[in-house]
Amino acid sequence: MLKQTVPLLALLCLAPGLTRAVTDPMVGDWKLDSSKSRLFDEMKVSSLGANKFSFDFGAGKAEQIVIDGTDQPGLSGTTLAVTAVAPDQWKVVRKKDGRAMLTGIWTLSKDGNNLNDDYSEYGDDGKTTTHVIYTYERKGGGPGFDADWVSTSQQMETEYRVEVQPFETDGLSFTFPGERERSVKFDGKDHPNPNPAVKLVTSAQRVNATSVVLTDKFGERVIDTQEISVSADGKTMTITRHMSGRTEPDLFVFERY
């Protein structure tokens, strides 16, 4: 479960940037077609006793949290709080610098074999940027929330858009909902996020005119790899996102907006 506009270079570089904006098939505004997209998710929850659980969301390291509703140290400078609202329902809240980044309302089915996650992400202004209803299936573990949970279906409840703009003279800037943009050059080198508070670096490679690959890392640890391609008619953009620690990729299909 990361907007601001990057200006073009000074007047000397303005004309090349405008030319590329017209000719680069990736540049533009894109709107998600949720009917053609698929979000895979997996999370492992393990009881450690004394009302303490281990949470592995696929980031390569588990977080150990007491289920008492308090903000506790999480990964990458965040906090994680889990509240037992009822025997069959938990509220999960992740924060950064005291600001809520995401919440999830987890509800177990009566037979305990499925988990419903009413999941929301928030921008810097506190507004909801993403709302998804996930349904997970239990894979072992138990009882209760203790299990390896694998998503079986999801329903996107909010409009999801991606903006792609030229970056300097030989790169691109990708802005995703609720995130500051990733501005990269196609040199294979790690480029820091424009916001120094976000310790994320992104490298990029241009496969051809209609395909690029982005790799996101925290330090030396790869978080995800995104294969982005545009259809021959320029009307559809597909992002295949491989998250570290997951066995299946997410598939996002966008139509030009």
Tens of pLDDT, residues 143-173:
999 999 998 777 777 778 899 999 888 899 9
Report the CATH number at residue 100.
2.40.128
The CA radius of gyration of the chain, in Å to the nearest whole number, is 20
Tens of pLDDT, residues 91-111:
999 999 999 999 999 999 999
145 and 165 housed in the same domain: no
Residue 92 lies in a domain: yes
What range defines the domain where residue 143 resides? 42-156
- Among the ranges given (21-35, 131-145, 201-215), the one the predictor scored with the smallest mean pLDDT: 21-35
CA atoms of 161 and 31, how far apart (whole Å): 4
CA atoms of 26 and 206, how far apart (whole Å): 11
Q: Report whether 253 contacts 242 (CB < 8 A).
A: no
Is the entire prediction scored with pTM above 0.75? no
61: pLDDT confidence band, cut at 50, 70 and 90? Answer: confident
Residue 244 lies in a domain: yes
51 and 152 housed in the same domain: yes
Residue 6 lies in a domain: no
38: pLDDT confidence band, cut at 50, 70 and 90? Answer: confident
Percentage of the chain with pLDDT > 70?
A: 87
Burial (Cβ within 10 Å: 0-12, 13-18, ≥19) of residue 97: exposed
Query: Hey, what are 87's tokens?
Result: 């025997």
Does residue 205 or residue 60 have the better pLDDT?
A: 205
Report the CATH number at residue 243.
2.40.128.20
Number of domains in the chain: 2
